[in-house]
């Protein structure tokens, strides 16, 4: 469950970033001052449109890695009854994801401008319709809740905390009560900074927490961990209060080209990523989402943590060689 967005990606220059006050490698929510950015970016000569939104990306990658059967994953989120909404529906179908969108006509379908410079990407999300998801209008409907009950693994990006924390809690509690796996992502530094309260309300139900090094550092600072050692942060995060004591929390932090850090039982282990020539990196947009997708692919097949991370590394390695969160027809994963 998450924010379905249509990604609009284009290569820009530093002047463009400066004009709109963007950092080269960041994720933010659009403000009024970014309105013109969306108008300008679509006029760029090489603009590409891809179905996006963090959670939906991960789900699509997991399905791509699995290949058959189709529709192993169900996705909930809100879109508009417009052209971009039609594109998202079509793209979800092509990716064989079982998307059940809540459709409303008050807000247009959400978009995300991916401003690419070199191998950095600055993401500006205009949630629009994605922000209109309503628990009582969608999640609570019997037909939809039945789909929730059918699942054995749940994944929601932290981005959705800005939209419907009550929906996240309902799913998280269901997972915990039924000893199923609930996983979540720190998603962006601003989530820990400005949506700390809803994040910490869900944390006791989180069985697997994902994040990258920047998000981990921001989270640690907010919680007063008083360390910037990533392994130490992972350990302290694992030890935060937990509802379902049958499962020990697993914390997985990626660090770009550096080792992925994960808690394994009482210890913390480093897992090296796959080597890649700097020249082969086209754009890192979606690398984190792809990692989660690969991880979920192995997880639903009850593979070991090490295998889950290996699959995550493979998927991320594929995605960074291409524009946006796109992939070849079939994976070449063994």
Residue bearing tokens 């059918």: 150
Alpha helices in 3-82 (DSSP H): 14-19, 35-41, 54-66
Average pLDDT value for the chain: 95
Write out the two tokens for 76.
């909930």
pLDDT at 325 over 80: no
Mean pLDDT within 32-41: 91
Write out the two tokens for 90.
């079509």
Alpha carbons within 13 A on the beta-carbon side of 334: 0
Residue bearing tokens 């480093």: 270
Confidence bin at 227 (pLDDT 50/70/90): very high
The proportion of the chain whose per-residue pLDDT surpasses 70, expressed as a percent, equals: 100
Residue 183: Cβ within 10 Å count: 23
Confidence bin at 323 (pLDDT 50/70/90): confident
Say which of 13, 289, 302, 332 is annotated catalytic. 289
pLDDT value, residue 281: 87
Do 317 and 274 meet the contact criterion of CB atoms below 8 Å apart?
Answer: yes
Which tens digits make up the pLDDT trace of 118-166? 878 899 999 999 999 999 999 999 999 999 999 999 999 999 999 999 9
pLDDT value, residue 159: 96
pLDDT at 192 over 90: yes
**Domain range 53-108+130-320, CATH class:** alpha beta
Distances (CA, A) of 81 to 66, 213, 237, 299: 31, 37, 40, 34
Which tens digits make up the pLDDT trace of 239-296? 999 999 999 999 999 999 999 999 988 899 999 999 999 889 887 878 999 999 999 9
Active-site residue, 289 included: yes
Mean pLDDT within 316-323: 91
Neighbouring residues of 171: CB distance < 8 A, sequence distance ≥ 6 = 1, 139, 148, 154, 156, 182
Do 203 and 228 meet the contact criterion of CB atoms below 8 Å apart?
Answer: no
Write out the two tokens for 228.
């910037």
> H or E segment at 252?
strand 250-255
Confidence bin at 169 (pLDDT 50/70/90): very high
For residues 298 and 303, give the distance between their C-alpha atoms in angstroms, rounded to a whole number: 5
Residue 241: Cβ within 10 Å count: 8
For residues 210 and 216, give the distance between their C-alpha atoms in angstroms, rounded to a whole number: 9
Write down the domain spans for the chain.
53-108+130-320
For residues 233 and 187, give the distance between their C-alpha atoms in angstroms, rounded to a whole number: 16
Q: Name the residue with higher pLDDT: 281 or 184.
A: 184
């Amino acid at each position: 469950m998450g924010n379905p967005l249509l990604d609009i990606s284009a290569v820009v220059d530093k002047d463009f970033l400066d004009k709109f006050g963007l950092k080269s490698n960041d994720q933010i929510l659009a403000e009024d001052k970014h309105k013109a950015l969306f108008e300008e970016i679509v006029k760029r000569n090489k603009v590409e449109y891809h179905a996006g939104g963090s959670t939906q990306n991960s789900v699509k990658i997991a399905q791509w890695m699995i290949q058959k059967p189709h529709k192993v994953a169900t996705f909930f989120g809100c879109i508009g009854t417009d052209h971009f909404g039609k594109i998202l529906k079509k793209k979800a179908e092509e990716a064989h994801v079982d998307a059940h969108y809540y459709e409303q006509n008050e807000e247009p379908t959400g978009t995300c401008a991916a401003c690419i410079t070199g191998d950095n990407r600055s993401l500006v999300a205009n949630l629009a319709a994605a922000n209109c998801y309503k628990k009582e209008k969608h999640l609570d409907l019997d037909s939809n809740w039945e789909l929730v009950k059918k699942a054995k693994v749940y994944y929601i990006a932290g981005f959705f905390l800005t939209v419907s924390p009550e929906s996240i809690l309902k799913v998280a509690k269901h997972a915990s009560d039924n000893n199923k796996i609930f996983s979540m992502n720190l998603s962006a530094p601003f989530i820990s900074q400005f949506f700390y309260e809803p994040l910490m309300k869900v944390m006791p139900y989180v069985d697997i927490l994902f994040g990258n090094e920047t998000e981990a550092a921001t989270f640690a600072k907010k919680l007063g961990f008083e360390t910037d050692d990533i392994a130490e942060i992972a350990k302290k995060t694992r030890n935060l209060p937990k509802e379902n004591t049958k499962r020990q929390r697993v914390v997985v932090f990626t660090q770009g080209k550096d080792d992925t850090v994960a808690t394994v039982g009482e210890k913390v282990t480093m897992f090296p990523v796959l080597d890649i020539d700097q020249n082969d990196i086209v754009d890192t947009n979606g690398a984190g989402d792809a990692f989660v997708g690969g991880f979920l692919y192995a997880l639903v097949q009850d593979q070991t943590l090490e295998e889950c991370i290996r699959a995550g590394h493979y998927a991320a390695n594929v995605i960074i060689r291409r524009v946006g969160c796109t992939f070849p027809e079939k994976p070449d994963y063994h």
